[in-house]
Amino acid sequence: MAISASDIKRIKALQQKKFRQESGLFVAEGVKTVEELVGSDFNVIEVYSTENLDFFESVDANLIHTIKNKELERISGLKSPNKVLAIAEIPNIEHVIASESLVLLLDGIKDPGNLGTIIRTAKWFGIDTIFCSEECVDIYNPKVVQSTMGALFHVKIRSEDLTNRISLLKKDSFQVIGSTMQGRSVYEHKREAKTALVIGSESHGISHSILELCDNECSVPNNEKKRSVESLNAAIATSILLSELTRPH
Which letter does DSSP use for residue 152 in this model? Answer: G
- CATH number, residue 58: 3.30.1330.30
Residue at 97 is within a domain: no
**Burial annotation 201-237 (CB, 10 A radius, 16+ → b, else e):** bbeebbbeebbebbeebbbbeeeeeeeeeeebebbeb
- Angle ∠(40,46,52) on CA atoms, nearest 5: 85
Is 190 domain-assigned?
A: yes
Q: Is 31 in the same domain as 127?
A: no
Choose the final residue of a domain: 89, 121, 156: 89
Mean pLDDT of 83-93: 93
Q: Is residue 79 part of a domain?
A: yes
94 within a domain of the structure (yes/no): no
Task: Give the count of domains, the chain.
Answer: 2
Give the residue from 38, 68, 89 where a domain finishes. 89
- Over residues 132-165, the pLDDT tens digits come to 999 999 999 999 999 999 999 999 999 999 999 9
Do the bridges between strand 156-160 and strand 175-185 make them parallel or antiparallel, or are there none, so unpaired? unpaired
Model's pTM, two decimal places?
Answer: 0.91
**94-134 pLDDT, tens digit each:** 666 666 789 999 999 999 999 999 999 999 999 999 999 99
Same domain, 139 and 194: yes
Domain identity same for 73 and 170: no
- 75, part of any domain: yes
How many angstroms separate the CA atoms of 145 and 139, rounded?
Answer: 7
Q: Which domain CATH number covers 223?
A: 3.40.1280.10
Domain carrying residue 54:
5-89
Average pLDDT in the chain: 91
Identify each DSSP E strand in 9-141 by its residue range. Answer: 25-29, 44-49, 64-66, 84-89, 102-106, 129-133
163: Cβ contacts below 8 Å, ≥ 6 apart: 209, 210, 213
Name the pairing type of β-strands 102-106 and 156-160: unpaired
Cα distance between residue 8 and residue 52, in whole Å: 21
